Amino acid sequence: MITPDSAMPEIERQKMPVDIACVGFGPATGGFLHTLQQGLMYPDGTPVAESKVMPGMPPQVICYERADDLGFGVSGVVTEGRAIRESIPDLDLAEIPLAAEVTSEKVAYLLDPIGASRRSGLLKVADTLIKPFTKKHAFTLPWIPPFLRKEPGMVFSIGQFCQWVGQRVTADGTIQVWPGTPVREALIDDDQVKGVRLIDQGVDAKGQPAAGFMPGMDIEAALTVVGDGPFGAVGRQLDEHFGMPEGHHSRDWAVGMKFVIDLPESCELEPGTVLHTMGYPEPEIFGFFYVFPDRVASCGIFVPSWFETPTRTAYRYLQHWLMHPWIWQHVEGGSLRSWGAKSIAESGRKGEPHLVGDGYARIGEGSGGTNVLRNSGVDEAWATGSQLGEAVLELLKAGKPFTRENLDATYVRRRRESWLEQESLKAENARNGFQKGFVRGIIGTALAGMTGGRLHLGGEIKKPSEHVPTLEDYYRGRVSAEEIAEIRKACEAKGAGLHDALMDKVGWPEIPLDGKLLVSQQDALLIGGKVQAPPGYADHVTFHDTTICETCEERICIEACSGQAITMNPEGGTPLFEREKCVHCGACLWNCSHTDPANPERGNVNFQASTGGFHSAEN
């Protein structure tokens, strides 16, 4: 038995041997496959090595992507694109729809024009002092700190970019990429990764065989490349099996939620414009606004795990952010084109797992690649993939096996010697200050940024569950305990989350839905996200210990769910989960006010790989 985590009884499964199996197709695997494909054949057309499973053929490389097509992921993106340009020196952005060179950058601190946000006394004083220098309730920094600057760089849609890369790497047939094929788990035998098991099809919600049952195939591979992003099930399985390196953890998270907007004719922003915001709708929430060609903008917010509230909702906050006068001046009259949400791992290098082992290598955001000082993950993900691609070619040419030692000497060595490592070390502690609030966080980040990481503000990194106060504590002085009790009772009776009623109560105005740009969350799921979930798969969100949920007061999993897929159970007890509404954002994984008794580093929600989610390649 080589499946440590399988809930299924032992059943006969088909087996398929390949040389290299990849999990997930994001920019990290894009970088890996691109580099591999470029070097797999000598100029005379002979392969650099022979396949071990198909003698006479080049190495057999296959990549499995969970989403129903390539490019259904969610991101910003503004990036310097150093690693991407290194891999593709003749990169022509005109070939990629919605891509443009960065033309201008601004960072703005947004004041609260409504008076509903929760601001500390210190921040209120700062707001008063800044006010005379603001325009449309925003103070624009006179210059961009060098560590944030992305010029020269590019903006693009991650969906369009991944589709473009996917076409390039599969064009000559040496590499296969299979979307709509989630990997259930890694096959681990005696601490060696021997391939992957695909998800079972034709099962009921609990994963038990039903009509059309098709057990997931076992893909046996000498090398498994894990590029399944920040909250991939396979990466987490490896973290649990092998443990994290001493002192490393993945406790810092944010959910990024965004709109892609067709801008109105009146909007004068040039393609390549990059705007970053902080301070509104709550001080803890950061915003981004990138202008693509053809009057399209990608804009959204990040709601972090250190935002100490039990109502960590993103959708309504995103609408209030959009309606801030400084943003609204550009989007008023526009229409919603697409919508998306996804978690981002903000531990950076502190979240780096064991990068290699016998038979496997980790790349991308799940390998701790994201730079939390520069707010940059795409280029870093590509760089890690490309470094692994070079390492694998070196080992193939030398005829050496994919052991921990050999992967260490080739891939990890390249990574440690590169700019990626140097910059991630500078960024390592940059965000620690946010553990103690917005102002300390901003000062700490600025210190780290200006001193190359030598100075920063400390702060013990708490688990996300330790950042969840009670509703009564969070709303103290604004909503009484009796009013909260009434709101809770009324919402529970309707099976609704509490955040809307509580936000109304503290003065957030109702969103004037116009059916065009400002739409309900359910309409965003249908119109913008085009969310789908094919039948025949198990529920991929479950609760580890339901007795904890039954007595849980905060129910932050419901408040924070990006797709309203986790809802209040009208009969009380454990929340309900609707697979069809899940957008696979991973936010429930860290938005829980309790921990799993079996593993205090994780919350009480279990999130597995499955099909479905967004059907938009524009995010």
Ligand X SMILES: Cc1cc2nc3c(=O)[nH]c(=O)nc-3n(C[C@H](O)[C@H](O)[C@H](O)COP(=O)(O)OP(=O)(O)OC[C@H]3O[C@@H](n4cnc5c(N)ncnc54)[C@H](O)[C@@H]3O)c2cc1C
Q: 167: closest CA among 76, 81, 230, 97?
A: 97
**Binding-site residue total for ligand SF4 (CB under 6 A)?**
28
Name residues whose C-beta falls within 8 Å of residue 401's C-beta, 6 or more positions apart in sequence.
222, 395
Residue corresponding to tokens 């992957």: 196
Considering the rule CB under 6 A, would residue 300 count as an interface residue with ligand X? yes
Separation between Cα atoms, residue 174 and residue 311, nearest integer Å: 49
Considering the rule CB under 6 A, would residue 549 count as an interface residue with ligand SF4? yes
Q: Which is nearer to ligand X, 24 or 449 (CB)?
A: 24
Q: Site residues for ligand X, window 316-345 (CB under 6 A)? A: 342, 344
Give the range of 74-82, 105-113, 521-529, 542-550 binding ligand SF4 by CB under 6 A: 542-550
Considering the rule CB under 6 A, would residue 224 count as an interface residue with ligand SF4? no
x/- map, 368-407, ligand X, by CB under 6 A: --x-----xxxx-x--------------------------
Q: Which is nearer to ligand SF4, 20 or 255 (CB)?
A: 255
Q: Which is nearer to ligand SF4, 40 or 255 (CB)?
A: 255
Considering the rule CB under 6 A, would residue 193 count as an interface residue with ligand X? no
Cβ distance 345 to 372 under 8 Å?
Answer: no
Residue 555 contact, options ligand SF4, ligand X, none, Cβ 5-8 Å cut-off depending on partner type: ligand SF4
Q: How far apart are the first and last CA of the chain?
A: 40
Separation between Cα atoms, residue 29 and residue 7, nearest integer Å: 28
Cβ distance 185 to 196 under 8 Å?
Answer: yes
Q: 319: closest CA among 265, 261, 259?
A: 259
Separation between Cα atoms, residue 183 and residue 198, nearest integer Å: 4
Residue 549 contact, options ligand X, ligand SF4, none, Cβ 5-8 Å cut-off depending on partner type: ligand SF4
Of these, 102, 221, 233, 388, which contacts ligand X (CB under 6 A)?
233
Separation between Cα atoms, residue 255 and residue 240, nearest integer Å: 23
Cα-flanking dihedrals φ and ψ of residue 573, to 5°? Answer: 85, -155
Residue 605 contact, options ligand SF4, ligand X, none, Cβ 5-8 Å cut-off depending on partner type: ligand SF4
Q: 394: closest CA among 223, 613, 202?
A: 223
Of these, 183, 269, 491, 561, which contacts ligand X (CB under 6 A)?
183
Separation between Cα atoms, residue 95 and residue 616, nearest integer Å: 19
- CB under 8 A, 24+ apart: contacts of 404-408: 404/356, 404/357, 404/358, 407/355, 407/356, 407/357, 407/361, 408/356
Q: Provide the 8-state DSSP code for 465.
A: G
Tokens representing 33 are 């496959």
Give the range of 23-31, 260-268, 425-433, 505-513 binding ligand X by CB under 6 A: 23-31
Alpha helix (H) ranges present in 174-232?
none
Q: 616: closest CA among 78, 158, 303?
A: 158
Q: How far is CA 401 from CA 19, 165, 359, in A?
A: 11, 28, 9
Residue corresponding to tokens 């009259």: 333
Q: Is 166 helix (H, G, I), strand (E, B) or coil?
A: helix
Q: How far is the CB of 227 from ligand X (least distance, A)?
A: 5
**Binding-site residue total for ligand X (CB under 6 A)?**
43
Q: Provide the 8-state DSSP code for 54.
A: S
Sign for the pseudo-dihedral over CA of 447, 453, 382, 247: negative
Considering the rule CB under 6 A, would residue 585 count as an interface residue with ligand SF4? yes
Distance of CA 510 to the CA centre of its chain: 29
Considering the rule CB under 6 A, would residue 531 count as an interface residue with ligand SF4? no
Q: Site residues for ligand X, window 24-53 (CB under 6 A)? A: 24-29
Q: Which is nearer to ligand X, 358 or 365 (CB)?
A: 365
Separation between Cα atoms, residue 452 and residue 70, nearest integer Å: 37
Considering the rule CB under 6 A, would residue 592 count as an interface residue with ligand SF4? yes
Tokens representing 505 are 């109560």
Of these, 586, 590, 609, 616, which contacts ligand SF4 (CB under 6 A)?
586
Considering the rule CB under 6 A, would residue 127 count as an interface residue with ligand X? no
Tokens representing 322 are 């959009």
Of these, 556, 568, 609, 617, which contacts ligand SF4 (CB under 6 A)?
556
Residue 556 contact, options ligand SF4, ligand X, none, Cβ 5-8 Å cut-off depending on partner type: ligand SF4
Residue 609 contact, options ligand X, ligand SF4, none, Cβ 5-8 Å cut-off depending on partner type: ligand X
Q: Which is nearer to ligand X, 381 or 502 (CB)?
A: 381
Cβ distance 65 to 178 under 8 Å?
Answer: yes
Residue 587 contact, options ligand X, ligand SF4, none, Cβ 5-8 Å cut-off depending on partner type: ligand SF4
Of these, 541, 568, 609, 617, which contacts ligand SF4 (CB under 6 A)?
541
Separation between Cα atoms, residue 500 and residue 508, nearest integer Å: 9
Q: Site residues for ligand X, window 254-293 (CB under 6 A)? A: 256, 258
Give the range of 5-13, 124-132, 316-324, 562-570 binding ligand SF4 by CB under 6 A: 562-570
Residue 364 contact, options ligand SF4, ligand X, none, Cβ 5-8 Å cut-off depending on partner type: ligand X
Q: Site residues for ligand X, window 60-99 (CB under 6 A)? A: 64-67, 73-79
Give the range of 85-93, 350-358, 485-493, 563-571 binding ligand SF4 by CB under 6 A: 563-571
Q: Which residues lie near ligand SF4 (CB under 6 A)? A: 541, 543, 548-549, 552, 554-557, 561-563, 565-566, 575, 582-588, 592-594, 603-605
Q: Which residues lie near ligand X (CB under 6 A)? A: 23-29, 64-67, 73-79, 158, 182-183, 227-230, 232-234, 256, 258, 300, 342, 344, 364-366, 370, 376-379, 381, 609
